[in-house]
Amino acid sequence: MPFDIKSIFTKNFINLSLNQGVNIIATLIYTPILFQCFGDENFGLIQLAFSVVIMLSIFISYGYSLNGPIKIVQSQNTKEKNIVISEILSLRLILCLVIFILSIPFIYLHSNIIFQKILIFSYVILLAEALNPLFYLQGINKILPQSILNFFSKSIYVILIILFITDSDDAYLANFFYGTSISFLFLFFWIKYFLSSTYYNKIFSLKKIIVNLKENLQFFLSSISTHFTINGALIILSLFVSNKELGRFSLAYKVAFILRMIPIFFIQSVLQQATKKNDVSKKELDKFLSNYFKIGLITTIVIAIIIYIFSDLVIEIFADEKIDYSSKILSLLSFIPFLAMLNFKNVVYILVNDLKSKLNRATFYTLLFMLFSSLILSNLYGGYGLACSLLLTEIFSFFIHYFLINKKW
């Protein structure tokens, strides 16, 4: 069968693969710079601040990463589409301001002054999330612009780090440069979009925003569970270990987090086409998903084996020294993408059939399991315990999604 470069899946898969490729290359460049410049303790604080801000960004996104593309697809014309875009952006920017103001007092609950400064300057990442155009680009089935934006933002970030970060006193700039480079390009994208648009909804409607808040509540609740399950690990670990151990765990977790995105971009790549297959019949959907499920499993298990075997080398590349602790953590975490890929068909099926209640329950139960296991195992075994908890969470997530889909409760 000839390779059809024009197929929807192929184009999206290639673009999202390039997107992840940019993330991986950028991570390979800036992570060694940051770790070697700041040391394990400050690097851990940078990653902790990043995790906190990413957790807060859930309130900014408000579930529109899932529901936004659907709203764009359902728009009948350009006018309706632009109304949806302006409503989503308005809501996100308002939430960004509110979350920033409300969270400021909590910054000073942490006794480490260095961490306080790093966290304050990390808040610009919230603006980047508010301006993120991915929901729109997925809705019109054009992923390439997102890949281009990602490439330039990561390039600018790397350049800023190389030019302006010189010693450990610059730790607060790491996340600030990250958020600034992304926010600048996203803002440029929207200015260009609306300048070329024939219609823009300039009327601020508080009533409509309240309606949107209620309408998207279930997707938001689902996002909370999903984001905390993925991004809450370092926050939990910081309660039980030193900054030094946190930094060394963060180094391995940084690599694992990039790999964890593989199943996610598989889902993003097939979602629109899967929706169309599902409209035809469940059999068509199953056949369509099975092909890419096999590809995903093979891809992730091969990557897991490679990372497991060469974990010492990977850590040495990042840290410019051998860190046995980080290598062992990475060996454990290397299997997370494969375990997450097991859930591929379950998640797509739930999304295309709009099973909001089951999605909420599955992610909520997964969150409870992650919190329970992480708190206990991190307290007992530190980073090793947390790594085992994350592996067990992926397995639990697969079974709870599968059970909820196949059982009527």
Q: How many domains does the chain have?
A: 2
What is the reported pLDDT for 200?
56
* Domain identity same for 286 and 345: yes
In a domain, 5, yes or no: yes
Instruction: Give the residue among 45, 388, 60, 102 at the shortest CA–CA distance from 244.
Output: 45
DSSP designation for 216: T
Residue range 58-77, pLDDT digits in tens: 888 877 776 777 777 777 77
What is the reported pLDDT for 1?
39
Structure confidence at residue 244 as a pLDDT band (50, 70, 90): very high
What is the reported pLDDT for 203?
52
Boundary residue ending a domain (215, 250, 282): 215
pTM, 2 dp? 0.81
**What distance in Å separates the CA atoms of residue 385 and residue 375, rounded to the nearest whole number?**
9
Q: Is the pLDDT of residue 9 over 70?
A: no
* Domain identity same for 43 and 127: yes
* Domain identity same for 407 and 273: yes
**403, two tokens:** 């059970």
Angle between helix 124-131 and 78-107 (nearest 10): 160
* Domain identity same for 171 and 269: no
| Long-range residue pairs from 277-282, CB within 8 A, at least 24 positions apart, any chain | 278/352, 278/353
Residue range 16-64, pLDDT digits in tens: 667 777 877 888 889 889 999 999 999 999 999 999 999 898 888 877 7
**What distance in Å separates the CA atoms of residue 326 and residue 383, rounded to the nearest whole number?**
9
What is the reported pLDDT for 141?
74
Structure confidence at residue 384 as a pLDDT band (50, 70, 90): very high
In a domain, 220, yes or no: no
Residue range 144-185, pLDDT digits in tens: 788 889 899 999 999 999 999 988 889 999 999 999 999 999
Boundary residue ending a domain (191, 215, 239): 215
* Domain identity same for 211 and 299: no
Considering only residues 65 and 352, tell me which one the structure prediction assigns the higher pLDDT.
352
**What distance in Å separates the CA atoms of residue 147 and residue 138, rounded to the nearest whole number?**
12
Residue 387 structural domain:
226-409
CB of 127 closer than 8 Å to CB of 179: yes
Structure confidence at residue 13 as a pLDDT band (50, 70, 90): low
* Domain identity same for 24 and 159: yes
Q: Is the pLDDT of residue 8 over 60?
A: no
Residue range 75-120, pLDDT digits in tens: 777 777 888 888 888 888 988 999 999 988 888 777 789 999 999 9
What is the reported pLDDT for 2?
42
**93, two tokens:** 């920017």
Boundary residue ending a domain (163, 189, 215): 215
**What distance in Å separates the CA atoms of residue 330 and residue 323, rounded to the nearest whole number?**
11
In a domain, 43, yes or no: yes
Cβ count within 10 A of residue 206: 9
